[in-house]
Structure 1
Amino acid sequence: MTSDPSLAPFFNPKGVVIIGASGDPTKLGYGLSRNLVQSNYPGAVHFVNPKGGTLLGCPIHPSVAEVPDPVDLAAVLIPARFVPDALHACGKRGIRAAIVGSGGFREVGPEGAALEAEIVAIAREYGIRLLGPNCIGLLDTHLPIDTTFLPPPGPTPGDVAFISHSGAICAAVIDWARGQGYGISRLVSLGNQADVSETDVLEPVAEDPFTHVLGLYLEGVKDGPRFVENARRVALKKPIIALKVGRFEAGRQAVASHTGALAGQEEAYNAAFRRAGVLRAQTSEGMFDRARALAWCPLPKGRRVAVLTNAGGPGVTAADALEGFGLELAQINETTRSALAEVLPPAASLRNPIDMLASASPKQFAESLRILLTDPGVDSAMVIYPSPPMFTSGAVAKAIIPIIQNSDKPVVAAVMGERLIQEAVEHLRAAHIPEYRFPERAAAALAALVQRSEALRYAQAEPILLDDADKSAVEKILETCPQEGFLPAEAGEQILAAYGIPTAPMVLARSRDDVLVCTRQTGFPVAMKVASPDIPHKSDVGGVALNLQDEAEALAGWDTIMQRVLAAHPKARVEGVHIQRMIPQGQEVITGTVQDVQFGPLVMFGSGGVEVEGLKDVAFALAPLTSLDADYLLKNTWAGQKLAGFRNLPPADRTAVLDAL
């Protein structure tokens, strides 16, 4: 990865100047100054305030112009109306990176938006990269540097980076993560993203050797295709987990086609994350639970999980949770069961989940886990225990840690309780073994490891481009089509043919007499559909007749369609009917595209015909598709699964469908 060099001062500055430094502990400028000094930042620290004086043992300069070298990053925390002058001063001083923590810009209305546009113009004039405004800054626990104004203590050094659109979420995460034992490597608050966006910082954050996983809190993305490109490059090296909020936000625009009615912002984000190899979390806690496992565990070779516990109830809970996340209980082989029988009491359950009983000793925990991890049918393991009645939780943790560290299979622990299990928690965290309070969270963490393996496959897959498509023919076809409204059916057929996608031959009958001529060309049975640029959903107005067996039925079909269309849509422009030969014993599916505002074209596949909007059995993927994308569309729809054969339907040509997609 090679990140934008203009962003380097944000992440490894030689010197930082705080514009708005204050000696008043009630001011945010004091909090920012305190945090920078107390972070033990190794570079030069400069303060600016027109009042001058000293602060935290450092001189306060009256102006930016008087700040000595080295200085390449400014942290600006002053009233919004003064920010333009501060940026002019930074530009003249040669500072090319600025964090604007001040609020009062686009987030407050039109006047603030105009002020934000002004500071962006100033930044561009001088070549300044701008983080914010309306952000809390950034920090790095390993450099170290802290340009936030949050109250201490700061985060515990760790291996998970956090990038967020929300400053409040950043503040909450820092405090919560410290209490939960989650360490942070880098944190970036993006604010209004007037210049620097989530896409810009992905690579420089990931280049940090202490960062093993990236967590994202996203409210949207500024440039969808560029986000996918950058995230994909990063995800090939380090896991990315995104918490994308606004999943149920109303007001999504729909286009007047079946695909547009079904596609929405969330489908586009899911498709984009899948293409980029980004995992998606549903909750903040879930994001960090998964991040801990991804940072500390090897990836499993499959979905088969062994569960080892000293109580039956937690084992059942784990089994349910694992299945819910698409994992499966490993089938323990006879050799493994025999070995377990030698170390466990006769009453112990040797079927997965393995219930060792409440009397299980630390030695039995360790030896049973070692045996399970040697079973070739086990890909990963979960150790569950409420605090044992006759042993300390810490003793169990110390016993299993060497077993886990000597295995190439991932193991997570569900140490249930709170007060009685703190010793175990401390030992496990120190050994970098993921621990959770309940089996459900541990199961989600194991699922994330499997999902990471799948995400890597998607990120590594290359889109398939059509080399033999007659694009010039398509351009000529489109030039002859109306520039507004729906694409004429004939043009659609011609375009599909230019791309090598076979269709049933279609003819247009412009009159009742034409019906006889056309059906002699196609043969029977036929399907008949009204041809009108004003009627996209033909069945809604009775404009479809199917399985017409002879000329008499075809003529009757014409009459019926015309009567129904006239009654339902009297002002529609009707050109006639399209006639096609019926395909016998076929399975009806739909495929199409929709243009997403942020990510571009999506390919849709699912159940077709009258079922399309009723069932909403559809899946989406970014275009152009990879082979994995096409396979995903079939595996994740009932329409695709039926291609293997269902009830009286014979298996369909799945390969042909994949080729068409």
Structure 2
Amino acid sequence: LIQCGQKGIKAAIIISAGFREVGPAGAQREQRVKEICAEYGISLVGPNCLGVINTDPKTMLNASFARKMPARGRIAFLSQSGALCTAVLDYARGKAIGFSKFVSFGNKAGVTEIELLDYLHRDDQTDVILLYLEELRHGRALIDAARRITRGDNPKPILAIKAGRTPQGADAASSHTGSLAAEDAICEAVFREAGIVRAQGIEELFDTAIMLTYQPMPARDRLAIVTNAGGPGVMATDAAVRAGLQMAQFKPQTTKKLMASLPAAANVKNPVDVIGDARADRYTAALQAVLDDPNVDQVLVILTPQSMTDIEDIARGVCRVQQKANKPIACSFMGASDVAPGVDILQAAHIPHYILPEWACQAMADVQTVRRWRQQPLDQDQGLSLPVDRDAAARILDPLPGGYLREDQALAVLETYGFPVPQYRLCGDADEAAHFAEQIGYPVVLRVVSPQIVHKFDVKGVRLNLTDAQAVKDAYRQMTEHVARALPQAHIVGVICRRMIPAGHELILGVKRDAVFGPTLMFGLGGLFVETFKDVTFALAPIDASAAGRMLREVKAYRLLTGARGTPPADVPQIEQCLLRLSRLVTDFPRITELDINPLIVGPAERGAAVADVRIRISD
């Protein structure tokens, strides 16, 4: 590498392994490689990679250890794994899939996926970008780059596989790349907010890529199915609905067209069953009829090889219809050797073909994810217009050492950012607590405050539903005495007294500062249900109003919040406001490493919400 630098060579590929992925000695070797590249201005791909392939006729470069040059195409493939690339190239060859660029970047000691993504965005030979990652070291940069690429001027979809979904897979990925893996739920949030479609495997990755590459973008998500077999049509309908697609409702004139061109035994509703003896003319008539329907956005053609089925003629008929269509068409010719000649015809015409209808439905659903992302409004406010008192929060936080804040300190921080915190007081003795309770009204709750106590219920440091002054005094003395016996090392600062919050929906709003992506928000069902149901979703701060609304809709509890089964709807706008305030708070104060509001108790619409408990942890 030094010799390359001395000769003025500005680009290099290191395919060999033995660097960061093998341990400390390899990491030192990789660091030396970085220093040499910086000294001589060398752009490096690798180490520990397959290399680079460029199918541009002006270049035709195969700087890799792949055995064959892939076919030309409009899909670019970027991979952290080198060995996976050779398998992908062989797989793509069998599916008649071509590539514009094919890059294995390995350990990313020089060129990273960020630079490659930006390059492919400018590349006029690339329409779709595929990405395989095992670790994410440039989290925020990835989000910024992906947002630029997937929307705005000249948008290009990015489809990605992020390996290491399970703890075991994450361990394997870490040992493979020598990097810590981010939590999978956070990666899910990252991809969603960056407009990256996350595929479950190689098959789905390419299933969706060929749909995006060779078919027009559908206007909406309404699907029509044309089949010569009732069973597969029903199964495809189930798969479509599960994937989030809508089954199209035909216009009356479409039904009339189908009745005129199909036998009496055919089903002219969606899914359209042209029955088992259908030849090409019947298939093409049905396909054209549903494509002409304004209620149909896309069509799936299913074929099973029966005794009277002319598979190749039907495939050619679909190709003829597709040439004039302005809506996407996908096919599933089910089987293997019998349907192979027809599949070859479809693939030669760039009509996406799927072995199973379920795979076609998933690809169409992924395309809808791309469409909705492009149409999603960009709200740049990110809570910046909310009235907050940053200086007051700084006066509380700046003098404090690292660790958990006392509850009174945490509540005071939330108050400066406009959270709905019920009136409270830190009381130093039982008489003060009883006097304050008389002022605010009953019932009240008492909560012990100590820097050494994080989980108050575990030490019986909470007393609820106290209805008179004597009950408050008794509870104060009993609680503080019990805590002193249970945790003699705990310094009891006092007891918080506040009004009991009326019953409502119990939610959790949380923050964890991820090492890769920074502050990550969590929202979901709170109280005692957090660990039981794990009905939560994540987003990266800062968020805007549309992202806050999305977080609400992504949890199963959303139906309860909107008034399921006759229950009154919750104050949803107040929840969204709290999420925006939380996002603003943790963005303004990087020292906040953890924050849990659990529960936030939310009342009916326009009745507001209240913070029942909060924990905040800060760094030194």
Quick one: which of 323, 328, 333 aligns to 1:405?
323
1:361-380, Cα deviation, whole Å (9 max, x unpaired): 21111111111122232222
For residues 227-266 of structure 1, what are the structure 2 equivalents within 5 Å? Answer: 227-236=142-151, 237-249=155-167, 265-266=183-184
**Which residue identity is paired with 1:520?**
E
- Under a length normalisation based on structure 2, what TM-score does the superposition of the two structures give? 0.86
Show the counterpart of 2:561. 643
In structure 2, the CA distance between the partners of 1:228 and 1:287, relative to structure 1 (3 Å rule), is same
Q: How does 1:84-95 map to 2 (within 5 A)?
A: 87-95=1-9
- Corresponding residue of 1:157: 72
- Alpha-carbon distance between aligned partners in 2 of 1:394 and 1:568, rounded to the nearest angstrom: 81
1:215–1:242 Cα contact (<8 Å) kept: yes
How far did 1:610 drift?
A: 2.0
User: Which residue does the alignment assign to 2:430?
Assistant: 512
Contact 2:16 2:48 in 1 (8 A): yes
> What amino acid does structure 2 have at the position aligned with 1:493?
L
CA displacement 1:469-523 (0-9 Å, x = unmatched): 3222222221232x22112222322322322222212211222222202212321
How much has 1:570 moved relative to structure 2? 4.0
Q: Kindly tell me: are residues 205 and 252 of structure 1, through their superposed partners in 2, closer, same or farther at Cα, counting changes over 3 Å?
A: closer
* 1:317 aligned counterpart, secondary structure: helix
What is the CA distance between 1:438 and its match in structure 2? 0.8
Q: Which segment is superposed worse, 400-409 or 446-455?
A: 400-409
Measured at CA, do residues 294 and 251 of structure 1 come closer, stay the same or move farther in structure 2, by a change above 3 Å?
closer
Task: Tell me what 1:301 maps to.
Answer: 219
Aligned to 1:474: 393
- Structure 1 residue 335 displacement after superposition: 2.8
Does 2:374 match 1:456? yes
* 1:90 to 1:585, Cα distance in 2 relative to 1, 3 A: same
Unaligned ranges ≥5, structure 2: 172-180, 580-620
2:462 equivalent in structure 1: 544
CA contact (8 A) 2:62 2:69 kept: no
1:188 to 94, 98, 103: 103
In structure 2, C-alpha distance between the alignment counterparts of 1:368 and 1:631, rounded to whole Å: 41
SS, match of residue 404 in structure 2: coil
* Partner-residue secondary structure (3-state), 1:436: coil
1:96 and 2:14 are equivalent in the alignment: no
Equivalent residues in 2 for 1:313-352, closer than 5 Å:
313-352=231-270
Q: Deviations over 1:325-375 (max 9, x none)?
A: 122322234332222111111111222211111011211111111111222
2:26 to 112, 116, 125: 112
The answer on whether the counterparts of 2:443 and 2:466 sit within 8 Å (CA) in structure 1 is: yes
Aligned partners of 1:540, 1:350: CA distance in 2, in Å? 64
How many angstroms apart in 2 are the aligned matches of 1:598 and 1:97?
Answer: 28
Structure 2 residue 616 is matched with structure 1 residue 616: no
Q: 1:532 to 1:98 in 2, by over 3 A?
A: same
Bigger CA radius of gyration:
1
Q: What is the Cα deviation at residue 630 of structure 1?
A: 0.7
Alignment of 1:129 with 2:43, yes or no, is yes
TM-aligned CA deviation for residue 187 of structure 1: 0.7
Q: Following the alignment from structure 1 to structure 2, what is the Cα–Cα distance between the partners of residues 221 and 427?
A: 40
Alpha-carbon distance, 1:588 to partner: 1.6
Is the 2:195–2:373 Cα contact (8 Å) retained in structure 1?
Answer: yes
Kindly indicate whether residue 52 of structure 2 is the aligned counterpart of residue 138 of structure 1: yes
Preserved CA contact (<8 Å) 2:182 2:516? no
Alignment of 1:507-586 (within 5 A): 507-559=425-477, 561-562=479-480, 565-566=483-484, 568-586=486-504
How far the C-alpha of 1:632 sits from its partner, in A, is 1.5
How much has 1:250 moved relative to structure 2? 5.3
Paired AA for residue 139 in structure 1: I
2:54, 2:62 within 8 Å by CA — same for their partners in 1? no
Contact kept? 1:634, 1:641, Cα under 8 Å: no
The 2-side partners of 1:217 and 1:151 are apart by 17
Quick check: 1:490 aligned with 2:408? Answer: yes
Is the contact between residue 21 and residue 27 of structure 2 (CA under 8 Å) also seen in structure 1? Answer: yes
**What displacement does 1:173 show?**
0.5
Q: Residue by residue, what CA displacement relative to the aligned partner does 1:397-453 show, whole Å, maximum 9, x if unpaired?
A: 211223233233222111111222222222222222111111111111111111111
Tell me how far 1:233 sits from its aligned partner.
1.0
Q: Deviations over 1:563-614 (max 9, x none)?
A: 5534654433322322222232422212121101111111111122222222
Q: 1:202 to 1:460 in 2, by over 3 A?
A: farther
Counterpart pick for 1:657 among 575, 588, 591? 575
Runs of at least 5 residues in structure 1 that lack an aligned partner in the other structure: 1-86, 254-262
Distance 2:369 2:38 in 1: 41
1:603-646 superposed Cα distances (whole Å, 9 cap, x missing partner): 11112222222222211111111222111111112343322124
Distance 2:163 2:170 in 1: 14
Does 1:631 find its partner at 2:546? no
SS in 2 for 1:363: helix
